[in-house]
């Protein structure tokens, strides 16, 4: 594991969205329930849906249709269900979702430190952009990368490396903050310092075994870490 500050001052902060900044589980689960009900398919408890979040909307729908993490789904069924889910989620994008404690305040503090800030999520752009705007976070990020921005998404390092290149910052001077194996694996592959929050969507994984350079329980702890590395 790397030590924060080993390669100089952090110049880029990248944040995952769902499970890191935002508890979007209620609205995602409600949208899935409406989708499954419309198709006369079995419904799932919200806590089961929690473990399926993190790889984008397409995989989330496939998992809900299969009723498990890696189940097979007939292409015909998915092609029928996916547009239904997109409609319901668009209608319920920000009904019960809430920012985690201290997120907005912490991002505002970090914004004053002259560090480039990006949101790198696997959520499609059609949901990410309006959601950030509704949450009042849109202006806090210098760049927003979505699940359909590049050819690859997390856990592939491409979104992180492209973001670092955009800011002309070395990966070693960059930090990724996330909640799942996808975030940590992408950070490791890209050479970013990695922080895992222990309150998000882990898919059943033990956050202390994902290989993150640091695990935190409170989002505001990031400010202290940045100050210590300065």
Secondary element (H or E) of residue 194 = strand 193-197
Are 139 and 61 in contact by the 8 Å Cβ rule? The answer is no
- Whether 16 is catalytic is yes
How many angstroms separate the CA atoms of 197 and 42, rounded?
32
Torsion on CA atoms 114, 193, 144, 181, rounded to nearest 10 = -150
CA separation for the pair 110, 98 (Å, rounded): 20
Residue 131 phi/psi, 5-degree rounding, is: -65, -45
**How do strand 98-99 and strand 116-120 relate by DSSP bridges?**
unpaired
* Active-site choice (6, 16, 142, 213): 16
Structure tokens at 170: 């070395």
Residue with token string 């969205």: 17
Give the C-alpha separation, 149 to 144, whole Å.
Answer: 9
Q: Report the candidate in 28, 180, 29, 57 with the shortest Cα–Cα distance to residue 126.
A: 57
- 83: tokens are 């547009």
**Residues 38-42: contacts with CB under 8 Å, at least 24 apart:** 38/84, 38/88, 39/80, 39/81, 39/84, 41/65, 42/67
Q: Which residue numbers are catalytic?
A: 16
């Amino acid at each position: 594991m790397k030590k924060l500050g080993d390669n100089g001052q952090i110049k880029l902060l990248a944040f995952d969205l769902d499970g890191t900044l935002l508890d979007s589980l209620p609205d995602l689960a409600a949208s899935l329930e409406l989708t499954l009900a419309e198709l006369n398919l079995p419904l799932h408890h919200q806590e089961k849906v929690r473990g399926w979040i993190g790889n984008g909307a397409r995989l989330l729908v496939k998992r809900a249709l299969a009723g498990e993490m890696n189940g097979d789904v007939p292409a015909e069924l998915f092609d029928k269900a996916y547009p239904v889910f997109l409609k319901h989620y668009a209608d319920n994008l920000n009904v019960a979702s809430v920012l985690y404690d201290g997120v907005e305040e912490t991002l505002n503090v970090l914004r004053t430190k002259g560090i480039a800030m990006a949101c790198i999520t696997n959520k499609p752009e059609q949901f990410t952009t309006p959601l950030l705007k509704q949450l009042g976070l849109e202006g806090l990020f210098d760049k927003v990368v979505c699940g359909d921005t590049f050819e690859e998404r997390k856990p592939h390092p491409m979104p992180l490396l492209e973001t670092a290149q955009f800011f002309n910052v070395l990966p070693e001077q960059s930090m990724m903050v996330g909640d799942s194996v996808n975030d940590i694996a992408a950070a490791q592959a890209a050479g970013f310092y990695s922080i895992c929050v222990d309150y998000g969507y882990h898919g059943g994984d033990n956050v202390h075994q994902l290989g993150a350079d640091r695990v935190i329980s409170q989002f505001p702890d990031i400010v202290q870490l940045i100050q210590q590395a300065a």
